[in-house]
């Protein structure tokens, strides 16, 4: 098993069920369009994702999570050094995700196309696809009921994009910690891939 395949399997383990549930060509087409939009523009708003979901009503239960899985897969691939992950390795990694056989080649080819045209390649400055600014704060609200009195904490992230558009995300504390762990794990995997690539040079 290649190192890239191991990285993909480890980072997308929790998304495998949703990825396996992609069963309609229309849903996959919408996800790949969103993926291309994100790659080109450096972001994809929740509003745009929600609009896509309305166009695939039969996929609502798994659409968001499956798209997130494809997003993570694309970032792992696009951030790898150019030429480090061979097409067959990518195909094997996609196949191992239990995606329906009729969609495997299409997803693989789309990722290869995005790799060829993307500004997200590792040798390019990351600032080209970085947001203009990110601010965050902790919101604490007190909730009182007849039976209990407790404090509810959430993380509020405000991301200002390159076109000055502000995206706001409200995340529960537990989900924020999960996000931190997944991001740290993905970054470590990318660093391992980069390290392996530098050793080959």
Residues 60-74 have pLDDT tens digits of 888 989 999 998 899
Residue 77 falls inside a structural domain: yes
- Helices (H) and strands (E) counted in the chain, each on its own, are 8, 3
Question: β-strand 149-160 against 133-144: which pairing, if any?
Answer: antiparallel
Q: How far apart are CA 114 and CA 105, in angstroms?
A: 14
Residues 109-127 have pLDDT tens digits of 999 999 887 644 444 443 4
Q: Enumerate residues 6+ apart whose C-beta is below 8 A from 97.
A: 8, 9, 12, 16, 19, 20, 69, 73
Domain that holds residue 112: 3-123
Q: Is the pTM of this model over 0.75?
A: no
| Residue whose tokens read 């200002």 | 160
Residue 128 falls inside a structural domain: no
Find residue 166's DSSP bridge partners: 160
More confident residue, 149 or 51: 51
Domain end marker among 123, 157, 179: 123
Q: Enumerate residues 6+ apart whose C-beta is below 8 A from 73.
A: 8, 12, 93, 94, 97, 111
Do 140 and 108 fall into the same domain? Answer: no
């Amino acid at each position: 098993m290649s190192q890239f395949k191991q990285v993909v399997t480890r980072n997308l383990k929790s998304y495998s069920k949703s990825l396996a549930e992609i069963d309609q060509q229309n849903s996959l087409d919408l996800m790949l369009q969103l993926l291309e939009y994100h790659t080109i523009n450096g972001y994809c708003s929740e509003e745009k994702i929600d609009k896509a979901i309305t166009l695939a009503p039969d996929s609502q239960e798994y659409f968001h999570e499956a798209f997130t899985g494809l997003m993570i897969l694309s970032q792992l691939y696009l951030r790898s050094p150019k030429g480090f992950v061979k097409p067959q390795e990518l195909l094997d990694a996609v196949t191992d995700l239990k995606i329906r056989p009729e969609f495997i080649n299409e997803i693989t080819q789309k990722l290869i196309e995005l790799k060829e045209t993307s500004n997200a390649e590792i040798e390019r400055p990351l600032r080209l696809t970085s947001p203009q600014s990110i601010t965050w704060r902790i919101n604490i609200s007190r909730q009182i009921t007849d039976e209990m009195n407790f404090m509810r904490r959430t993380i509020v992230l405000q991301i200002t994009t390159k076109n000055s558009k502000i995206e706001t995300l409200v995340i529960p504390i537990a989900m924020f910690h999960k996000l931190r762990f997944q991001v740290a794990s993905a970054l470590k995997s990318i660093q391992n891939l980069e390290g392996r690539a530098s050793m080959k040079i």
